[in-house]
Amino acid sequence: MTAPLSLGWPAPAKLNLFLHINARRHDGYHELQTLFQFVEHCDYLDFKVLDKPELKLHSNLAGVVADSDNLILKAAKSLQQHTKCQFGVEIWLDKRLPMGGGLGGGSSDAATTLVALNQLWETGLSATELCELGLKLGADVPVFINGFSAFAEGVGEKLQNVEPAEPWYLVLVPQVHVSTAEVFQDPELPRNTPKLSLESLMNSPWQNDCQSLVAKRHPQVAKTLGWLLEYAPSRMTGTGACVFGQFEQEQEAKDVLAKLPASIQGFVAKGANISPLMLRLAQC
Question: Which residues participate in catalysis according to the annotation?
Answer: 14, 140
Distances (CA, A) of 71 to 98, 110, 134, 148, 181: 15, 6, 10, 21, 17
Instruction: Give CA–CA dist 165/3, Å, rounded.
Output: 40
∠ CA 10-110-152, nearest 5°, is 90
Instruction: Give CA–CA dist 236/240, Å, rounded.
Output: 6
36 strand-pairing partners: 16, 150
Q: List residues forming the annotated binding site for ATP.
A: 98-108
Q: What is the DSSP letter of 148?
A: B
Contact 174, 224 (CB under 8 A): yes
Instruction: Give CA–CA dist 53/55, Å, rounded.
Output: 7
Count the helix, strand and coil residues of the chain and give each as a percent rounded to the nearest 5.
30, 30, 40
